[in-house]
Amino acid sequence: MKNHFFFALLFLSAMALAQPEESYNYDETKVPKFQLPDLLTSFSGNAIETQQQWEENRRFEILQFFEKQVYGKVPDRLDEYSFKLLEESNDAYGGKARRKQVAISLKKNKRTITYNMLIYLPKGNPTAPVFLGYNFYGNHTVTTDPKVPITEAWVSNNKTFGITDNKASENTRSVRTHRWAIEKMLDNGYGLATIYYGEVDPDKNDFSDGVHQLFYQEGQDKPKTNEWGSIAAWAFGLSKAMDYLENDGNISDVIVFGHSRLGKAALWAGATDKRFAGVISNDSGCGGAALSKRKFGETVERINTSFPHWFADSFKKYNDNERTLPVDQHQLLALMAPRPLYVASAVEDQWADPKGEFLSTHYASKVYELYGKEGVTATNMPDVEQPIQKTVAYHIRNGKHDVTDYDWEQYIVWAKTFTK
Ligand code: GTR
């Protein structure tokens, strides 16, 4: 018993050291009293009782709220978009996989941006389901495959990777393979499609580049108050990738996946584009799967201060004001219904509020029940590494803010219950 106490203390102090955010709440007893907006009562107070009422009224008004007040609206349609197969091969991963690299070009107001998607497909079947997810440092970082070019786009500096001038070099090839269990996917009949998110919108507080500027009118240099921040821009990029994937011919279902900020983007992509057959949020935290009103770990104020470009400007009025938010993130999760949704947390990722992520799946499940689908019925978090895998799935694993083989093993087992 004594030993347990000692280790708990050691763990807590190690966590306090690991997180510089001392002024942020990591104490469950200090979570403010809050009331979650009810999923099945409309903003005007009407009870939602059927799938039809959900889809036509409630889902619509929730989606609109998130669109205008949280992530921001895409200002307009593109003038044009196109895809170009850059190269293709049958001998990736020792002959196990085929590889395709596709350039996606988006055009508006005579301006164009182009980003590259790397695709690996298992051989054996004419079509395969794929996981689609952004990577943080370039497609060349997720694999040892020398045929994947180094991204030429702006990348964040990173001491560990030796990136000092916002440019990726050959030295960064394969530095993120541990986050992408590609062989496991292939061996289980799944493919992977991945894109470097910075090619869609560089992750910096500057709206002069990326997809936003395609839409500017003369004299405009940033989106309007209710218009898209970077998360919505990344989600838009995923949707355009889907336009390619659904016509590739060798791909069946697409499950959209993302880690952390890119988990937030994957959730918003899943909410706004029903073609995604399933959605996975890995450690997405604040502005992703975690309930904002708990103010545990990262808060709305903190995220809008550290990353002023991620959300619509209009979201800033909820800084230190979560109480007045007419929605919370369980309602974002419910927008995926009835499609399968997986939320995952990590024990040492308290910044992302694992409990808030779990509760969010529980509350969202009410909408899945309208469709006769099973969600997360438990009100208490499951034990560590004891996944709940229904149409709504949740696990918390040991370890840090990361994507591990353990995570992928769970996603694959779960995906097999619904993909073609
Ligand atoms: C953190 C941020 C989180 C999460 C994370 C990440 O700094 O506070 O919301 O997005 O970055 O993307 O790794």
pLDDT, tens only, 185-233: 999 999 999 999 999 999 999 999 999 999 999 999 999 999 999 999 9
pLDDT at position 240 is 98
pLDDT at position 353 is 98
The single-letter code of the amino acid at 75 is P
> 152-170 burial, b if ≥16 CB within 10 A, otherwise e?
ebbbeeeeebebeeeebee
pLDDT at position 1 is 41
Q: Say whether 157 sits in a helix, a strand or coil.
A: coil
Relative to the CA of 288, which ligand 1 atom is closest?
Answer: 9
Got the DSSP string for 123-142?
SSSS-EEEEEEEESS-GGGS
From atom 13 of ligand 1, which residue's Cα is the shortest distance away?
260
Prediction pTM value: 0.95
Catalytic annotation, pick one of 230, 239, 260, 365: 260
Question: What's phi and psi for 29, nearest 5 deg?
Answer: -75, -15
Do residues 268 and 277 touch, judged by C-beta distance below 8 A? Answer: no
All structural domains of the chain with their residue ranges: 47-415
**Rounded distance from Cα 213 to ligand 1 centre (Å):** 24
Is the minimum distance from the CB of 261 to ligand 1 under 6 angstroms?
yes
Q: Please confirm, yes or no, whether 82 is among the known catalytic residues.
A: no
How would you classify residue 95: left for phi > 0, otherwise alpha for psi between -120 and 50, otherwise beta?
left
Is the minimum distance from the CB of 199 to ligand 1 under 6 angstroms?
no
* 341-346/278-282 β-pairing: parallel
Relative to the CA of 287, which ligand 1 atom is closest?
Answer: 9
Catalytic annotation, pick one of 105, 174, 252, 401: 401
**Rounded distance from Cα 260 to ligand 1 centre (Å):** 6
Q: 10 Å Cβ neighbour count for 56?
A: 12
Q: Say whether 200 sits in a helix, a strand or coil.
A: coil
Q: 10 Å Cβ neighbour count for 254?
A: 24
Instruction: Return the best residue to mutate from 197, 204, 304, 351 for the ligand 1 pocket (most ligand atoms within 8 A of CB).
Output: 351
CATH number of 47-415: 3.40.50.1820
Instruction: Return the best residue to mutate from 19, 203, 307, 357 for the ligand 1 pocket (most ligand atoms within 8 A of CB).
Output: 307
**Rounded distance from Cα 258 to ligand 1 centre (Å):** 12
Is the minimum distance from the CB of 288 to ligand 1 under 6 angstroms?
no
Is the minimum distance from the CB of 285 to ligand 1 under 6 angstroms?
yes
**Rounded distance from Cα 6 to ligand 1 centre (Å):** 30
Instruction: Return the best residue to mutate from 137, 260, 264, 283 for the ligand 1 pocket (most ligand atoms within 8 A of CB).
Output: 260
Distance CA 418, CA 416 (A): 5
**Rounded distance from Cα 261 to ligand 1 centre (Å):** 5
**Rounded distance from Cα 72 to ligand 1 centre (Å):** 19
Q: Please confirm, yes or no, whether 260 is among the known catalytic residues.
A: yes
**Rounded distance from Cα 217 to ligand 1 centre (Å):** 31
Let me know how long the chain is.
420
Residue 324's alpha-carbon distances to 36, 50, 298, 321, in angstroms, are 11, 28, 18, 6
Identify the segments of the chain with pLDDT beneath 70. Answer: 1-22
Do residues 265 and 301 touch, judged by C-beta distance below 8 A? Answer: no
Kindly give the residue spans of alpha helices, DSSP state H, lying in 173-253: 182-187, 230-245
